[in-house]
Structure 1
Amino acid sequence: MPVPYTPVADIPRLVADARAAYDAGFTKPLAWRRQQLRAIHDFLVKEEKAINEALFKDLHRPEAETMIYDIGMARNAAVHTLEYLDDWVAPERVSGESVAYAMDRLEVRRFPLGVVLIIGTWNYPINLTLIPLITAVAAGNAAVLKLSEVSVNTAELLVRLLPKYVDNSAIKVVYGAVPESTALLEQRFNLIFYTGNAVVARVIMKAAVKHLTPVVLELGGKSPVIVDKDANIPNAVKRIMWAKSMNSGQTCVAPDYVYVHKSVAAQFYAEIPKVAKILYGNDPAKSELYTRIVSDRHFNRLVSTLDAELKVPGVEVVYGGNRDAKERLIEPTVLRGVTQDAKKHPVMKEELFGPIMPVIEYDDVDEVIAAIRAKGEPSLALYPFSSNLKFIEKVVNGVDAGNVIANDLIMSLAVENLPFGGVGESGMGSYHGKHGFDTFSHKRSVMVRPAGLEILNDARYPANGYNRRGFWYKVVEILLFRPMPTDTSIAFSTFWRRNISPLFSPAPILIGLALGFYASIRARAAGLISH
């Protein structure tokens, strides 16, 4: 039986209940945070079969792909967060940079923001809903989850099963479409975290203005690949086709289009059928390893764009092009004869979000960089391929993008210590690991000063310190106003911080003592040192 949408009339009460739980202090203790992280992990483990079945119904996604990119990444995020939570919440001591603060304790402490709204999406509905939730509860927040109605089976599963694991007083689940989202955006939150497209992101930002609510937007864009003449072409094609066809191209960091140097273009095209066979056999349409398009609307949008592109003179299909409306299947489709002119080429107008890959041939990488920059819309990802590090650095420094991977694609998302997020049209803010914890936290500065020693403060009081010719003002100058450093002093202080100061930290000293003690014991045991 289908799960009904959350009644719009109930939404203000759900948000109010979450705020009441937060205000009562339920979410702040570390014990509660750990309990929720373990509960989310338990959900992912115990409901693995149900999640796989739901995502197969929604996307015809193979079980292994769901395990790796949805369930597995969320499980790893929960484990990583549990392992490092104590470190993340610990106060961070900082230096006062002046003798005026030598007696003070200066710290940065992280506090929860309050009640946060997490708006998930449909293409990776477990990963992109639960990983933000993991970092939100780790930071001590109450949370309201808005599930995407597009991946209907997975959303219904989350509505039915997730509340059986997590604390329902502080973690609320809302299921619905535009009316439910609109009702949510009318409520007051302390942060809105949204994953999706730029059109909806603008609606969210307008709604957030009412309460001056900060927003984190994880969007997308036309992420380019730039293949140099010095690239390893067989490896590059295999990695690019894998990333483009994963989840049938319905991935925010999928390569959208590819620039290939003219001198290696023929080799690039020749590798594509070989790679496609390696990935999905002779016929992707018959492969159980190939994901389908999520809905008829998305399928029709992609087919319409592809058909319009194929009417452009000079454009031809290198591989693929077949589609099956009943199955909502579009083969991995590679096009040649495309240029960066979006007025002429429909496939270059906006993010494709499907298994269609235009290829543009180029002579000069500087012209490529200029063409991408001229769009004025930074993408979520950038993928240069080359064995020449100078080429890679030129692309990395020349093209604006949220994230960069050289000689591969997508893989950095699995690294918890790397921030993930966009810039400009591809989003704002970042998360994953400690970066997500910080996103859902308020960094509060804390200064604890001595209650006594008032003589040290006399210089700041007007009667004593405001006479610029007087003694106390000179003391203020000495204590507070640092002289402009020379280039030599900057170089020396940088060298000291990076190379000398770490040698005096406790860890290397303790390790050195332990190793010395161990070596002494071994030497005595071997009779090399007399008793």
Structure 2
Amino acid sequence: MSTSLYTPVADIPRLVADARATYETGVTKPLAWRRKQLRALFNMLEKEEAAITEALFKDLRKTREEGAIFEVAQIRAAIVHALENLEQWAAPEPIDAGSPLYAMDRLEVRRFPLGVVLVIGTWNYPIFLSIGPLIAAIAAGNAAVLKLSEVSAHTAELLLHLLPKYVDNSAIKVVYGAVPESTALLEQRFNLIFYTGNAVVARVIMKAAVKHLTPVVLELGGKSPVIVDKDANIPNAVKRIMWGKTVNAGQTCVAPDYVYVHKSVAAQFYAEIPKAMKALHGDNIAKTHTFPRIVSDRHFNRLVSMLDAELVVPGVEVVYGGHHNATDRFFEPTVLRGVTQDAKKHPVMKEELFGPIMPVIEYDDVDEVIAAIRAKGEPSLALYPFSSNPKFIEKVVNGVDAGNVIANDLLVSVGIDTLPFGGVGESGMGSYHGKHGFDAFSHKRSVMVRSAGLEFLNDLRYQLALYNPRGLAYRIARLLLFKSPASETYYALMSFIRRVTATLAARGGLPLAFLLGVLFARRHQ
């Protein structure tokens, strides 16, 4: 694609300054403005769906249906969710001080916009991962600068054209370009930087953010593992894993990167792969319309080189797939066996694959698997245990660090706006989606409103009265302020009451559960 549409680097400081000038007028703060912009985004997605899915097809060979479902529909749902809940999210949140000292006061948490925020989108889901954070930024009342990825050029150029037609272009700016444009943006002062991408660029962003003490939200990735137990439903597990691996040709930040399979079910696991692939993509995946392509020659060549290097490792063999075609950047889903966790020995274990290569590691003991994953010291964005044994799932969930967990499935929780989505450690920091995104782009300000009268109560805190160790004020202060923890028996009893209350409520015993809940709450004040 041509670079003629790139935002001139020289224009970027003025563009950011214009957004700040608009924000300073206060126009973005009223809920009416926020709703208007969200509705405008919805209208854009509704009216321009055909053009959007066409651009996604040109960039990634996503079918119109995949583009509509995984990008357009998800963002439309996120907008509707924000519109339905915006007033509640923005309302002052009453706070219980938990002390009689402040019983006469009004305590609140109010959420205020941060200011001018920078959203840096990415190429693999150029609608979902660009407009999604922008929804949160707008809902929170910010002015925003959206940086579009040059890798998915058709979609970026379409958004560059469409967004100014629909949203308030004085408060919501769009920048399109590559490294020079991103560098120029990072030299500007923002009140938050939201980035979706990889850890290498994230470090560059954090370094730039230090200059202005700018907070960051980083949505990264990592090598998200799948752990298949011997008690898993293997046919279902394989179909779901291969679905998660082939959506967007594996170019998904929460795609399954590699799979641990218990040795006792490994043969069955491999045998189910061709069946699953036929059910998902038909008899000839190279010719089916359902399987996307690799986004660029650079990414295609990276995958080819990685696979070639892995296949010369003794003991490694292809279980399924292995074919690729540079002409249209087709890379067949490729399942490998004979791989171990040793990244020095196995190229496919060194970094996030971000493509349709799937190494399989056979194991005997899940405790050793957990220890091996933890030893990497790089928490992934997702974790996928498969088992019909709840104890196995809990062991994996509690034993492996990851940003998000889905048991017995993959990917689907990303579309649930009531759940936070975000990484930890190498897979990112901060979270968003729904209210969590609103909070990420907001400053939570504590507000305390006290009576202007009742000075006789305040007299007790002033120095001459309070600092007299024999005086009444000092004794009252010690009584109210110097707290001690209760006994372990008390905490155990309260924990028991809480569990019983939850169990009764779940089974329909609401009246008794309510009484126990009141007792628990009153004793905990």
Instruction: List structure 1 segments (4+ residues) > 4 angstroms apart after TM superposition.
Output: 491-500
Q: Which amino acid aligns with 1:453?
A: L
Corresponding residue for residue 145 of structure 1: 146
Separation (CA, whole Å) in 1 of partners of 2:40 and 2:489:
55
SS of equivalent residue, structure 1 residue 193? strand
Identity of aligned residues (%): 76
Out of 358-367 and 469-478, give the one that drifted further: 469-478
Q: Which amino acid aligns with 1:122?
A: W
Q: Which amino acid aligns with 1:99?
A: P
Structure 1 residue 279 displacement after superposition: 1.0
Corresponding residue for residue 30 of structure 1: 31
Structure 1 residue 64 displacement after superposition: 1.1
Separation (CA, whole Å) in 1 of partners of 2:492 and 2:314:
59
Separation (CA, whole Å) in 1 of partners of 2:448 and 2:492:
30
Structure 1 residue 49 displacement after superposition: 0.4
Corresponding residue for residue 325 of structure 1: 326
Corresponding residue for residue 233 of structure 2: 232
Which deviations, in whole Å up to 9, do the C-alpha atoms of 1:310-351 show, x marking residues without a partner?
111111111100001001010011001111111111100000
Corresponding residue for residue 5 of structure 1: 6
Corresponding residue for residue 302 of structure 1: 303
Which deviations, in whole Å up to 9, do the C-alpha atoms of 1:48-68 show, x marking residues without a partner?
000011011001111111111
Structure 1 residue 267 displacement after superposition: 0.1
Structure 1 residue 475 displacement after superposition: 1.3
Matched, 1:127 2:107: no
Structure 1 residue 497 displacement after superposition: 7.6
Matched, 1:417 2:451: no
Corresponding residue for residue 527 of structure 1: none
Q: For 1:40-79, what aligned pairs fall within 5 Å after superposition?
A: 40-79=41-80
Corresponding residue for residue 168 of structure 2: 167
Structure 1 residue 209 displacement after superposition: 0.2
Q: For 1:74-89, what aligned pairs fall within 5 Å after superposition?
A: 74-89=75-90
Q: For 1:91-102, what aligned pairs fall within 5 Å after superposition?
A: 91-102=92-103
Q: Which amino acid aligns with 2:21?
A: A
Structure 1 residue 24 displacement after superposition: 0.4
Q: Which amino acid aligns with 1:172?
A: K
Which deviations, in whole Å up to 9, do the C-alpha atoms of 1:18-57 show, x marking residues without a partner?
0011110010000000001101111111110000110110
Separation (CA, whole Å) in 1 of partners of 2:485 and 2:369:
42
Separation (CA, whole Å) in 2 of partners of 1:289 and 1:107:
51
Matched residues, number: 505
Q: For 1:497-508, what aligned pairs fall within 5 Å after superposition?
A: 499=501
Structure 1 residue 493 displacement after superposition: 5.5
Which deviations, in whole Å up to 9, do the C-alpha atoms of 1:472-515 show, x marking residues without a partner?
10111223233322234445666778859x99xxxx99xx9xxx
Matched, 1:373 2:412: no
Separation (CA, whole Å) in 1 of partners of 2:491 and 2:497:
10
Separation (CA, whole Å) in 1 of partners of 2:490 and 2:498:
12
SS of equivalent residue, structure 2 residue 431? coil
Corresponding residue for residue 446 of structure 1: 447
Which deviations, in whole Å up to 9, do the C-alpha atoms of 1:385-408 show, x marking residues without a partner?
000011000000100000000000
SS of equivalent residue, structure 1 residue 347? helix
Q: Which amino acid aligns with 2:313?
A: V
Separation (CA, whole Å) in 1 of partners of 2:415 and 2:39:
20
Structure 1 residue 460 displacement after superposition: 1.2
Q: Which amino acid aligns with 2:447?
A: V
Q: For 1:265-414, what aligned pairs fall within 5 Å after superposition?
A: 265-414=266-415
Separation (CA, whole Å) in 1 of partners of 2:468 and 2:68:
71
Q: Which amino acid aligns with 1:135?
A: A
Structure 1 residue 69 displacement after superposition: 0.9
Out of 296-305 and 310-319, give the one that drifted further: 310-319
Q: Which amino acid aligns with 1:333?
A: T
Separation (CA, whole Å) in 2 of partners of 1:217 and 1:301:
24
Q: Which amino acid aligns with 2:301?
A: N
Scaled by the length of structure 1, the TM-score of the pair is 0.93
Structure 1 residue 282 displacement after superposition: 1.3
Gaps of 5+ in 2: 515-525
